[in-house]
Amino acid sequence: MFIRNFLATIGRYCLLMYRVFAVPDRWRMTLRQTLLEMENLGLNSLGIIIIISLFMGAIMTIQIKLDMDNPLLPAYTTGLATRDTLLLEFSSTIMCLILAGKVGSNIASEIGTMRITEQIDALEIMGVNSANYLIWPKIVAFVIMMPFMVIVSMTLGLLGGYAVGLSSDIITVAEYQEGIQFSFMSYYVFYSIVKSMVFGFIIASVSAYYGYYAYGGALDVGKASTNAVVNSSVFVLLSDIVLTNFMLA
Amino acid sequence: MIDLQDVHKSFDGVEILKGITTRFFPGKTNLIIGQSGSGKTVLMKSLIGLHRINKGKILYDGRNLPRMRFKQLRNLRREMGMLFQGSALFDFMSVLENVMYPLEMFSSMTRKEMEDRARYCLGRVNLPERSFALHPSEISGGMQKRAAIARAIVLNPRYLFCDEPNSGLDPVSSLVIDRLIKSITEEYNITTIVNTHDMNSVMEIGDNIVFIKKGYATWQGSRQELFTSENQDLNEFIFASGLFKDLKKAHVVLHPELYPSSQTGAMPSDAV
Ligand SMILES: Nc1ncnc2c1ncn2[C@@H]1O[C@H](COP(=O)(O)OP(=O)(O)O)[C@@H](O)[C@H]1O
Ligand SMILES: [Mg+2]
């Protein structure tokens, strides 16, 4: 029973994506909508990304330094560990989990509301492919914004650690700088960006799915957006395992 | 004319429509009546192809909708207008833009022509000029309904669908909307189909009435024939309606033999 439901859901999701990625009827309108969504889903999320990355960078630096305060470990350990954690996981996966909460619920409730107020039906009978019209711009905009947000997060995270060096004597600036430059692999940045774009696709499309198939009233839109956040987070984590195996191993 | 033959529709294995066979006529306001939850909305959305039916035929002047390819369906939809229960105006557009939208989708008019046509339709439903630039959330429920009617008729449809056009409206606005629908229907010879559970509307505008109960169309006839119907479910539905008190007397006087229960004063218990 569970397996049957799961397969049915996957099937419906794939059918929806098939409709979403039809060629847009009217490019001008679609592109305009995509720009608006880049602002709505991307730029408007920058605040939370900046705050969280800054603080997490600082906190990681402090904790790693305190935990690894061992004369046998080289001085660059703290900076190196902070940098690699940021580059490999934090700025892509953890940030996407946070964005799943913000962006996922936003997408699901917006589309869900249009569904239960029959605006989607109204679009359909006017010959509009509503899935394409409503969902395509959101997915595309969010995926495009992702690399940008990842880089902002990495930068701010590193600055957070730097701020610890500047403002306290837990770690010296020189020590930190040496650490974050030690055996730097630019591939990690690339890896993080690719991952985040996949996660962005998952978050936007899974959330759109739950909104698009909402049925009932306002309460059901609430449930749809909860489902959107929970399930897109789970799928982000699952795909993280797959991608890590694939790209790093 | 729209012909339905043995239409079945189920959701997740639960059958909502269990074989509806009926017919809707042009130039008439065809009513689908029944209790809330009886499947009126599902039937209407199946008619226009928003729900894919499991079995049966839906013939639009001979053209079978469930068998249509996407292109054909799109062409047919150009001939349809629909008024949704909650109006379903797009809340990211102004009233005028809402009414122009179907023209943008389906016609090759210039922007000026579209705007003229939209303004004409908004005038036809008596919407005041000053509300054209407002967003749907800024106007009253009755005005939203009228704007939605304007949007539904802007393409000169051959088929007009109205799902509970006066739900959520006060009695006066309801009457205005009902009469508007009827006059538009007659003026343009449209095949209009209206879902309602409101007996006031039924008596006001019902030319051809289909009664739905438990997934079947159990009765069809005209307003006058409602009085002489022998369908017990339908009679219960009428009795339970607001018009019950007025009609009961007439029924008992006219057809005492048909309504033994109402003679003794016993009311049907399961009708809501
Ligand atoms: N998309 C859907 N999924 C599942 N059940 C539905 C769906 N749409 C309608 N139903 C069910 O069909 C029945 C009839 O609903 P509806 O047609 O809205 O009744 P009404 O006559 O009040 O318009 C209800 O029991 C409703 O729960
Ligand atoms: Mg209904």
Interface predicted TM-score of the whole assembly (ipTM), two decimals: 0.84
Ligand 1 atom closest to Cα of A215?
1
Check if the beta carbon of residue A204 is closer than 8 Å to that of residue A100: no
Q: What is the torsion angle, in degrees rounded to the nearest 10, for the CA atoms of residue A131, residue A133, residue A139 and residue A145?
A: -170
By residue count, chain B amounts to 272
Quick one: closest CA in A to B155, which residue?
A: A126
Q: How far, in Å, from the CA of A39 to the mean position of ligand 2?
A: 37
Interchain CB distance below 8 Å, B77 and A121: no
Q: What gap in Å lies between CA B78 and CA B135, rounded to an integer?
A: 25
Q: What gap in Å lies between CA B39 and CA B50, rounded to an integer?
A: 14
Exposure string of B233-263, with b = 16+ CB inside 10 Å and e = fewer, is bbbbbbbbbebeeebbeebeeeeeebbeebe
Considering only the beta carbons, identify the residue of B84, B90, B106 that sits closest to A127: B106
Q: What gap in Å lies between CA A190 and CA A140, rounded to an integer?
A: 19
- Chain B residues whose C-beta sits inside 8 Å of any chain A C-beta: 45, 48, 50, 74, 77-78, 80, 82, 84-86, 88-91, 101-102, 105-106
Residue B37's identity, in one-letter code, is G
Residue from B190, B181, B126, B129 nearest B156 by CA: B190
- pLDDT < 70 positions in chain A: none
pLDDT at position B255 over 70? no
Residue A76 located in a structural domain: yes
pLDDT at position B190 over 70? yes
The structural domain count of chain A equals 1
Residue A221's identity, in one-letter code, is V
pLDDT at position B263 over 60? no
What are the contacts of B37-40 at 24+ separation with CB within 8 A?
B38/B212, B38/B213, B38/B214, B38/B215, B39/B9, B39/B212, B39/B215, B40/B163, B40/B164, B40/B195, B40/B197, B40/B212
Mean pLDDT for the stretch of residues B238-258: 56
pLDDT at position B271 over 70? no
Considering only the beta carbons, identify the residue of A121, A124, A126 that sits closest to B101: A126
Please, is A152 exposed, middle or buried when counting C-beta atoms within 10 Å of its C-beta (0-12, 13-18, 19+)? middle
Verdict on whether the full-model pTM lies above 0.90: no
Average pLDDT taken over every residue of chain B:
87
Domain locations along chain B: 2-223, 227-272
The more confidently predicted of residues B41 and B258 is B41
Q: In the sheet where B159-163 sits, what is the strand order? A: B80-83, B159-163, B191-196, B29-33, B208-213, B216-221
Which residue segment(s) compose the domain that A223 sits in? Answer: 32-248
Ligand 1 mutation pick, B7, B11, B48, max ligand atoms within 8 A of CB? B11
Given pLDDT bands bounded at 50, 70 and 90, which one contains residue B170?
A: confident
pLDDT at position B20 over 60? yes
- Beta bridge pairs of residue B32: B195, B210
The more confidently predicted of residues A14 and B171 is A14
Residue from A223, A7, A195 nearest A97 by CA: A195
Specify the DSSP class assigned to residue A92.
Answer: I
Task: Render pLDDT for B119-136 as a digit per residue (tens, 0 to 9).
Answer: 999 999 999 999 999 999
Residue A5 located in a structural domain: no
Ligand 1 mutation pick, B41, B85, B210, B213, max ligand atoms within 8 A of CB? B41
Please, is B130 exposed, middle or buried when counting C-beta atoms within 10 Å of its C-beta (0-12, 13-18, 19+)? exposed
Contacts of B82 in chain A (CB under 8 A): 121-122, 125
Given pLDDT bands bounded at 50, 70 and 90, which one contains residue B242?
A: low
| pLDDT reported for residue B232 | 84
Report the CATH architecture of B2-223: 3-Layer(aba) Sandwich (3.40)
Given pLDDT bands bounded at 50, 70 and 90, which one contains residue B258?
A: very low
Check if the beta carbon of residue B21 is closer than 8 Å to that of residue B5: yes
Interchain CB distance below 8 Å, A125 and B82: yes
| pLDDT reported for residue A39 | 96
Looking at chain B, the whole-number percentage of residues with pLDDT higher than 70 is 89
- Please give the C-alpha separations between residue B114 and each of A39, B89, B110, B159, B266, in angstroms, as whole numbers: 31, 18, 6, 21, 58
| pLDDT reported for residue B168 | 83
CA angle B234, B236, B237 (to 5 degrees): 65
Residue A111 located in a structural domain: yes
Task: Render pLDDT for B38-80 as a digit per residue (tens, 0 to 9).
Answer: 999 999 999 999 999 999 999 999 999 999 998 899 899 999 9
Mean pLDDT for the stretch of residues B2-22: 94
Considering only the beta carbons, identify the residue of A118, A127, A128 that sits closest to B84: A118
Q: Is B42 in the pocket of ligand 1 (CB under 6 A)?
A: yes
CA angle A27, A33, A34 (to 5 degrees): 85
Residue A162 located in a structural domain: yes
Given pLDDT bands bounded at 50, 70 and 90, which one contains residue B243?
A: low
Q: Beta strand pairing status for B14-24 and B63-64?
A: unpaired
B120 CB-near residues (< 8 Å, 6+ apart): none
